[in-house]
Amino acid sequence: MFDSKYKEALENMKLRDSFKAGLLTKMKNAKKTSAPGRRLVLAVVAGVLVVSTSVALAANAATDGRLFRSMFVGNGYFQTQTTAGSSSAVTPAEVPTVTPTVTPTAAPAGKPTLTPTDVPEATPAVPAVTAAAAPTSKPAAQPTAALTGRTAPSVSANAGNDCVVVSWNKITNTDLVGYKVVASGSDSAPMYSENGYYAWITDAGTTSCTIHNGDGYTGGDVGTFSGGTSYYFSVTAIYGDEWQKIAGNAVQVTMPGDPVPLSDAVGRIAPSVNAVPGDNCVVVTWNRIDSADLVGYKVVASIQDSTPVYSENGYYKWITDADTTSCTIYNGDSYTSGDFGQFTGGQAYYFSVTAIYGSEWQKIAGNTVQAVMPGAAAAPDPEGTYPAVTLNDPALSGTTAALSWSRTTDTTGFNFYKVVVSTTDDTPVYPENGYVYYTTNPDELTYSYVPGGSGTYYISITAVYTANGTTHYIPSNVKTVVIP
């Protein structure tokens, strides 16, 4: 019964038609660019697979005949896939990994400049149209880059048939998070995030990207790629948890093909934004955008990032009514997925509005206005008013630790008891340390925890309360269980 109910509930969760349309365009574009030479190799691989699949089929026919199930249970199929997957890059020729290209020269600002690397001879079979590497003028990398082997991508870009193919060397550094393919019409050294991006590629083995005439661009000054216009193309590599951005060299190429008709691109403008402090609030206003392509406005803010843009910086509000051109943000309001969770009086924020256009969700960021949220700092969590519970000494029997704790003395706003366990953090607390069990019943005061093996386990109960839309996490004392 649960499965049918669950399937029924999921029926409402569907992809937006506009998203599917945009996705299909991207898929077809990606398909068009797969090289014929590569296809031959794939055919051979596929041939091998036919054999192994037939074996699987034959074996399967003897059982329940369900091939789909055999995919998972039968060994080998996915291994075959994985092995073959390494040769699946779209680029016709893979550029060998280059040596670190960031030279920490004695730059005055303490930031090194990037030296354009030589692209090895065996680069793409397509004749180079323009491959003059423009010197990057921006400080792009931290001095640590060379030390940690975080290299700048070596980029080439070539005009194809109604498209530009940007390729770069494969980066093997395990810190790599992904590549941002960037372009600009005016900036000769475009990089993410200042100049927005065209594609975000998290597969290190993907080393090329085809940009078609008429494709939309996220952020930056491109808007829509248009035939006959010249653009600077580059790739920014993103490294590590801190999202260090290292820009590759830039290559100027003219997009082949006919100019995109004005009607397609017209009206896709950046919102003109203003932000003014009011009474315990900041009022963000912008111009009404009169474009049939407009999907909506995302009101964004950031403390750190002086050019906040959706979706990198999260958003405060998503407005789909084109006629709504202002948004009041109150002291204490919460923020989704940004560098802060709640607006606080006395704190300065960068405010902006990102306009979303078309089925491809082209994001065009407006200007940024800094404003200080008026009012008193949002009251720190009045934790004292929410009682902590007390965890009793766990009773260990065999490999099970029987936990019990005191009942909360205040059930107003009580949400959960969270049983939090950590092997490394000796003051585990939800949500930082996750949880192994939770209950919404204030009278449920026991839990049998089975540790995963020998070691020291720090255990605590976080009581979770919600009041006026704010959630309070109140940790209990910590008990230690040692499994020999």
Partner 1 sequence: MKDLHKREETARLQDQNEYLTYLVETYGDMVYRLALARVRNPHDAEDIVQQVFLKLVKNIDRLETEEHVKAWLIKVTVNEGKSLFSSAWKRHTASIEESGEADELSLEPQDIRETSDILQAVFRLPERYRVVVHLYYYHDLSTEEIAKLLGRSNHTVRSQLSRGREKMRRDLKEVFEDV
In the region spanning residues 400 to 419, those forming contacts with partner 1, defined by CB under 8 A, are: 415-416
The site that binds partner 1 (CB under 8 A) totals a number of residues, namely 74
C-alpha 403/C-alpha 461 separation (Å) is: 10
The interface region with partner 1, picked from 13-21, 97-105, 107-115, 454-462 by CB under 8 A, is: 13-21
Q: Does 395 bind partner 1 (CB under 8 A)?
A: no
Whichever of 14 and 109 has its CB closer to partner 1, that residue is 14
Identify the residue among 63, 65, 230, 242 touching partner 1 (CB under 8 A).
242
| Nearest to 20, CA basis, from 359, 311, 361, 357 | 359
Is cis: bond before 431, omega within 30 of 0? yes
Whichever of 187 and 333 has its CB closer to partner 1, that residue is 333
User: Residue 59: enclosing H or E segment and its boundaries?
Assistant: helix 36-61
Q: 228: which residues sit within 8 A by CB, 6+ positions away?
A: 254, 255, 257, 258, 259
The interface region with partner 1, picked from 29-37, 93-101, 120-128, 137-145 by CB under 8 A, is: 29-37
Whichever of 247 and 464 has its CB closer to partner 1, that residue is 464
C-alpha 121/C-alpha 249 separation (Å) is: 17
Using CB under 8 A as the binding rule, the residues of this chain from 288 to 327 that contact partner 1 are: 311-312, 314, 318
Q: Does 55 bind partner 1 (CB under 8 A)?
A: no
Q: How far is CA 17 from CA 9, 11, 21, 297, 381, in A?
A: 19, 15, 6, 19, 43
Q: Inter-axis angle of helices 36-61 and 77-85, to 10 degrees?
A: 170
Using CB under 8 A as the binding rule, the residues of this chain from 441 to 480 that contact partner 1 are: 441, 464, 466, 471
Identify the residue among 438, 442, 477, 483 touching partner 1 (CB under 8 A).
438
- Cβ 406 to partner 1, closest distance in Å? 21
- Cβ 200 to partner 1, closest distance in Å? 8
Interface map 188-207 toward partner 1 (x if CB under 8 A): --------------xx----
Structure token pair of residue 376: 């008193």
The interface region with partner 1, picked from 19-27, 190-198, 396-404, 453-461 by CB under 8 A, is: 19-27
DSSP string, 218-259: BSTTTSB--TT-EEEEEEEEEETTTTEEEE--EEEEEPPSPP
Using CB under 8 A as the binding rule, the residues of this chain from 264 to 283 that contact partner 1 are: none
Using CB under 8 A as the binding rule, the residues of this chain from 90 to 119 that contact partner 1 are: 90
Whichever of 208 and 249 has its CB closer to partner 1, that residue is 208
Neighbours of 315 (CB within 10 A): 21
